[in-house]
Amino acid sequence: MQHIQSASVMQTFVLAARREGKRIGAVPTMGYLHDGHASLVRMARAESDIVITTIFVNPLQFAPNEDFTRYPRDFERDWSIAEKAGCDVLFTPSPEEMYPQGFQTNISIGGVSAPFEGVFRPTHFDGVATVVAKLFLLTQPDKAFFGQKDYQQCMVVKKLVRDLAIPLEIVVCPTQRENDGLAMSSRNVYLSAEDRIKSTILWKSLQAAQNLIQQGERHRDRIETILKETLLTMNGLTIDYAAAADADTLEQPTEFAPTQGIVLLLAVRLGATRLIDNLVVR
């Protein structure tokens, strides 16, 4: 596996690969890799000639009061996980490489970025869209692989690609979970032992709402009520949102149509840790 840190070297590498007709798969990450990330690399490996995993903790998507400085980082761990999963190139640019002196460009995505995370982290998706666009330009992938755990982010990235006519396919891969249902996340390392036990309530609430929908419930307020009531059985948990929305648009009708896909979206806080999760019911 190669290690590239320079943006210009990365571009030179992929342009040469594309001239040779190689198909490139990219897996953008912020590092501190786990098996959820590894599953994305494995999927990219199965569908690409060259797999590039990017690791960049993007300062633009963190608000001043968020965890940019303490976000977990472990290069040796990342190297081992990426290599075992089948990565060919690990691209780890510095902030100075990504945002050189005088950098003033910002990409803002309308519509799907506004609700949910957009309410609680209003600058977040501008930072995501800007860095993802630049990573796409640097790695020139045919396909880019993202995890469904960040459902709204996947929708924002899809809209970015569609609106700007970026010639690549976004592949959304299933959320990887621990044995007790907790969605794998780099931030899970923040959880205390007690909060780690409590965190299983997210998956239980999603399952409870899924069961209600599968029994025929289509009223949004009733679906959201069971999400919230299940979450609040756990002491010490606060809810940012527990919502049901159209799986394709994130719109929130009073009542879902019989054939309408529904995405259940959660963001909660356990102690100092903020967790997100989702489940699509079709």
* pLDDT tens by residue, 267-282: 999 999 999 999 999 9
Domain of residue 240, CATH code:
3.30.1300.10
Same domain membership, residue 153 and residue 259:
no
Q: Is residue 179 part of a domain?
A: no
Q: Is residue 235 part of a domain?
A: yes
Angle at 246 between CA 164 and CA 258, to 5 degrees: 135
Selecting among 3, 34, 37, 219, the annotated active-site residue is 37
Q: Are strands 262-270 and 237-246 parallel, antiparallel or unpaired?
A: antiparallel
Q: What is the 3-state secondary structure (H, E, C) of 50-101?
A: EEEEEECCCHHHCCCCCCCCCCCCCHHHHHHHHHHHCCCEEECCCHHHHCCC
Which whole number is the average pLDDT over 155-183? 98
Note the pLDDT of residue 15.
98
Domain of residue 112, CATH code:
3.40.50.620
Note the pLDDT of residue 28.
98
Angle at 164 between CA 159 and CA 166, to 5 degrees: 95
Which whole number is the average pLDDT over 48-65? 97
Among the candidates 120, 141, 173, a domain finishes at 173
Catalytic site includes residue 37: yes
Domain that holds residue 91: 2-173
Angle at 250 between CA 185 and CA 211, to 5 degrees: 70
Same domain membership, residue 18 and residue 147:
yes
Q: Is residue 180 part of a domain?
A: no
Q: Is residue 104 part of a domain?
A: yes
Same domain membership, residue 114 and residue 82:
yes
Same domain membership, residue 237 and residue 133:
no
- Whether the CA torsion 181, 185, 155, 3 is positive or negative: it is negative
Task: Please spell the DSSP secondary structure of 128-186, one letter per residue.
Answer: HHHHHHHHHHHH--SEEEEETTSHHHHHHHHHHHHHTT-S-EEEEEPPPB-TTSPBP-G
Same domain membership, residue 142 and residue 116:
yes
Total domain count, the chain: 2
- The β-bridge partners of 33 are none
Note the pLDDT of residue 65.
92
pLDDT band, very low/low/confident/very high, at 194 (cuts 50, 70, 90): very high
pLDDT band, very low/low/confident/very high, at 55 (cuts 50, 70, 90): very high
SS3 123: coil
CA-based nearest residue to 55, from 29, 75, 78 = 29
Note the pLDDT of residue 129.
98
Same domain membership, residue 210 and residue 276:
yes
- The β-bridge partners of 263 are 245, 280
Note the pLDDT of residue 117.
98
Q: Is residue 178 part of a domain?
A: no
Same domain membership, residue 27 and residue 50:
yes
Among the candidates 123, 150, 173, a domain finishes at 173
Question: What number of other Cβ atoms are within 10 A of residue 104's Cβ?
Answer: 5
Which whole number is the average pLDDT over 126-151? 98
86-117 residue pLDDT tens: 999 999 999 999 999 999 999 999 999 999 99
pLDDT band, very low/low/confident/very high, at 246 (cuts 50, 70, 90): very high
- 110: which DSSP letter? -
Same domain membership, residue 192 and residue 158:
no
197-233 residue pLDDT tens: 999 999 999 999 999 999 999 999 999 999 999 999 9
pLDDT band, very low/low/confident/very high, at 178 (cuts 50, 70, 90): very high
d(CA 82, CA 147): 15
Q: Is residue 181 part of a domain?
A: no
Same domain membership, residue 241 and residue 147:
no
Same domain membership, residue 55 and residue 153:
yes
- Percent of the chain surpassing pLDDT 70: 100
Same domain membership, residue 127 and residue 219:
no
Residues 6+ apart with CB under 8 A from 70: none
- Please name the amino acid found at residue 48: S
Note the pLDDT of residue 115.
98
Note the pLDDT of residue 266.
98
Structure tokens at 134: 């630049």
d(CA 266, CA 205): 9
- Whether the CA torsion 215, 220, 222, 228 is positive or negative: it is positive
Among the candidates 152, 173, 194, a domain finishes at 173
Which whole number is the average pLDDT over 22-49? 98
Residue holding tokens 């976000």?
71
- Percent of the chain surpassing pLDDT 90: 100
Q: Is residue 58 part of a domain?
A: yes
Length reported for the chain? 282
Same domain membership, residue 132 and residue 94:
yes
